[in-house]
Amino acid sequence: MTARSVADATNDSGDERYSRHILLTELGEAGQKKIRQAHALVIGAGGLGSPACYYMASAGTGRITLVDDDRVELSNLQRQILHFTDRIGENKAHSGARTIGQINPDVQVIPVTERLDAGLLESLIEDVTVVLDCTDNFATRHIINRVCVARRVPLVSGTALRFDGQVSLFDLRRDDAPCYACFYSADMEFVDRKAAQHGVFAPMIGAIGTIQAMEALKLIAGIGKSLSQRVLLFDALEVKWTEMYLERDPQCQVCAK
């Protein structure tokens, strides 16, 4: 497709906003249509959820359900770029929805202000294309993983603390795909480490959240090679990426049942 025909196509369909995506041979109009028809469930509107939502929204994801029961605090603003100083005290899901609407009014945003549990997630995941886990505690991550395994919904998981981050995609539509519990067993004891106690480098968490959006959009459009069965580890101090391969655990208490 020539630049002229792309311009004509985007103008005819009102998609000038997405013209640079449509120019990509791998993505094109077909891939952009899939993005516009997709429903992304983003759990957490903090440091990871902020950049993830920016790019999911700017790319034209049709619907974004954003879940967070927390409120914006001044200390969040160093990295949680969905929120602004005049939003302090506002619920993060509502604040994030306002920002997403300003980024791209084409996107339907559904803010959910309740604290996530298995029952709430079951009610939200019915027609979801992909889940982005942008939370900061192991208990919630395992709840998300169990529901995604049961519903066979792809899960993009990210974590970040201090100068270290990791990201992976669990394509639970596939019978051979590992799940989050294959990597971190559900019966292991973990102590959650929070940014409030240990700190977090803002651009690093932005990089991880952005990769979560990238993997989600690739999966929606059906392009490229995903991070399924791989985990990327990022050391921001050394500017070093490390790749680990992950196999399905035949004894996994979640996906091997």
Q: What confidence tier does 190 reach under pLDDT thresholds 50, 70, 90?
A: low
3-state secondary structure the chain: CCHHHHHHHHHHHCCHHHHHHHCCCCCHHHHHHHHHHCEEEEECCCCCHHHHHHHHHHCCCCEEEEECCCECCHHHHHCCCCCCHHHCCCEHHHHHHHHHHHHCCCCEEEEECCCCCHHHHHHHCCCCCEEEECCCCHHHHHHHHHHHHHHCCCEEEEEEEECEEEEEEECCCCCCCCCHHHHCCCCCCCCCCCHHHHCECHHHHHHHHHHHHHHHHHHHHCCCCCCECEEEEEECCCCEEEEEECCCCCCCCCCCC
HSE value, Cβ hemisphere, 13 Å, CA-based, for 239: 0
C-alpha 125/C-alpha 145 separation (Å) is 12
Query: From the centroid of its chain, how far is CA 253?
Result: 24
Say which CATH architecture domain 18-245 belongs to: 3-Layer(aba) Sandwich (3.40)
In degrees to the nearest 10, what's the CA dihedral of 13, 60, 241, 176? -90
> What is the per-residue pLDDT for 191?
61
- Which of 135, 168, 130 shows the shortest CA–CA distance to 148? 130
| pLDDT at residue 3 is higher than 60 | no
Tens digit of each residue's pLDDT (9 = 90 or more) over 125-176: 999 999 999 999 989 999 999 999 999 999 999 999 999 999 999 999 998 8
Q: What confidence tier does 192 reach under pLDDT thresholds 50, 70, 90?
A: low
> What is the per-residue pLDDT for 245?
95
Across residues 234-243, what is the average pLDDT? Answer: 96
State both tokens at 209: 């959240």
Query: From the centroid of its chain, how far is CA 37?
Result: 17
| pLDDT at residue 41 is higher than 70 | yes
Mean pLDDT, the chain, integer: 91
Across residues 221-242, what is the average pLDDT? Answer: 96
| pLDDT at residue 96 is higher than 50 | yes
Tens digit of each residue's pLDDT (9 = 90 or more) over 209-229: 999 999 999 999 999 999 999
- Which of 51, 54, 44, 84 shows the shortest CA–CA distance to 204? 51
